[in-house]
Chain A
Amino acid sequence: MKTLMLSTAIALAAGSAGAQELTLQLKWVTQAQFAGYYVAKDKGFYEEEGLDVTILPGGPDIAPTQVLAGGGADVIVEWMPAALAAREKGLPLVNIAQPFKASGMMLTCLKESGITDPKTDFKGKTLGVWFSGNEYPFLSWMSQLGLSTEGGPDGVTVLKQGFNVDPLLQKQAACISTMTYNEYGQVLDAGIAPDDLVTFKYEDQGVATLEDGLYVLESTLEDDAMVTDLVKFVRASMKGWKYAEETPEEAAQIVLDNDETGAQTLDHQVRMVTEIGKLTAGSNGTLDEADYQRTVDTLMAGGSDPVISKAPEGAFNHIITDRAFD
């Protein structure tokens, strides 16, 4: 409390000149997947740190990496595979914090498709996959299983899944990509019983990659003032995340208040916040290097077509989290 008052006092002293502005680009639309940031904003955690944070929702046509490269944001929420691939493409992204400990990604299959074991049963099947940077974990997994993604009897046929679960409901695909906290619930909402589904979590298959980390450009970390702001930002964001874990209902309502599209419902967001809480629970914001290494190994195990061709260097930096949580 004392530090809080102190930092508020400092913020007020400095704040007369206006709070430090910071722009965060989300990976997807406003939803409980980003509850921590919305909670931190609405509960005043950013304000206490003397920050004025603008949260930009993403969407199917927004690539956060591109927004960052174009100067449209200071910090982005991105999945590590896409970030590392972008880094290899010459965009120097650096992970500064990792609020998500676990991956929420899974393949959800209809039981009637007869798939029980990924090692033997995917052959000749059609699988729905998201692209725009989300395809990397899937491609790594398939290459580890030794399956071609070009179709045919010995490979799998990949269809580019839209941002819905229709291909499974229409039986256009045997399995589709789902997140534990979002699309899986949509499948259940569509009236398919959990007993009629088989799910394969990437975590359980040993091919999980880190999701929803915070990334900035390398050049940002050379600017001392920006580093100070990012330290405050990460500290306040993690406070928001822990608050969301403890009070899912309130967090869901905060997300709903921030959703300008009006597309989300409270029930759905409460469920999402609860599922997201399971993924953030194991992290205080600091990137676990073992998790990082596992992600890199998964991506490099891509056989003939690895997502990244060489082990990245300098792709993460503890400077922010070290200063935020000491």
Chain B
Amino acid sequence: MSALPVIALWLGALALNTWLSGFDTRATRLAVALIFGATILILWEMIVRIYAIPPVILPAPSQIGASFAANTAILWTDFVQTILKGALTGWLIGALAAVLTAIVIDRSPFLQRGLLPIGNFVAALPIVGIAPILVMWFGFDWQSKAAVVVVMVFFPILVNMVAGLAATDPMQRDLMATWAAPYGASLWKLRLPAAMPFLFNGLKITTTLALIGAIVAEFFGSPTKGMGFRSSTAVGRLDLPLVWGEILVAAIAGSLFYGIVALIEKKVTFWHPSQRRQRG
């Protein structure tokens, strides 16, 4: 009986979105997405209230929102500690190291045969295994979290970059050779630009990996701040709305992080077929 309003709302929103999707304009496309998101939140709120689900199991969106608003200072401190210091630093160091390693591997078949398997091996290390060790090496603060992120993002970027550097045609490389281009010039003018779509693919994949790595690494020892620290301790204190607040921060940060990288990619690889827009 009490499920009726839930089903009614869902069907109503479905009908509205189906009708809206008939007009393919920018405004309706945005409206469809917004209505979908709002419906999910309203249904969630309704279900939690109708069935009196305890907040320990699943807090209502309104509770999460209230907790988010009340704890902005804590959430900001955690965001700076985990995302800006831990994840971003680690991601930048890891990406830079991976790109340089890829160029070195690309120059030498010997390293290609030796280094890539080692990279493979490192990629297969479980985070729960390396995190405590890195905490031991680099201490409790964000440095050890950044180190975990470096290990996590290094390999996906490396593999993409190695593939990217091999992405040019023999014809293009021969052309560089006929112009007597030295290695450096051919790398800078031909092969690095050609590798950019591959590199950005790796960078985009690793944005979320970096967040996960930095958050999970905090479970293995941390100062008393950070998103992983807060989530794990707030669960112990049954402050689930705060845990969901952290989840919300992670979701927003992850989307922004990915979005920014995708935006830079658009600017850098404007020439690539995947970046051509269809006029709608």
Contact = CB atoms under 8 A, between A and B. Distances in A.
B219 A60 contact: yes
A159 B222 contact: yes
Contacts of A63: 235-236, 238
A166 interface: yes
Interface in B105-164: 132, 135-136, 139-140
A131 B132 contact: no
Contacts of B132: 162, 164, 166
Contacts of A306: none
B148 to A, nearest CB: 13
Contacts of B222: 159-160
A170 interface: yes
B238 A132 contact: no
Contacts of A61: 219, 232
B238 A91 contact: yes
A133 B236 contact: yes
A109 to B, nearest CB: 17
A253 interface: no
A131 B218 CA distance: 12
A149 B235 CA distance: 20
A161 interface: yes
A310 interface: no
Contact of A131 (B140, B232, B238): B232
Contacts of A60: 219
A60 B238 CA distance: 15
A70 interface: yes
B45 interface: no
Interface string A57-92: 000110101100110000000000010011001110
A48 to B, nearest CB: 35
B257 interface: no
Contacts of A86: 237-238
Contacts of A315: none
Contact of B229 (A65, A133, A160, A167): A160
B275 interface: no
B223 interface: yes
Contacts of A90: 54-55
B56 A69 contact: yes
A172 interface: yes
Given A60-B219, A69-B57, A158 B238 contact: no
B233 A160 contact: yes
B221 A162 contact: yes
Contact of B136 (A85, A91, A131, A170): A170
Given A159-B221, A160-B222, A132 B235 contact: yes
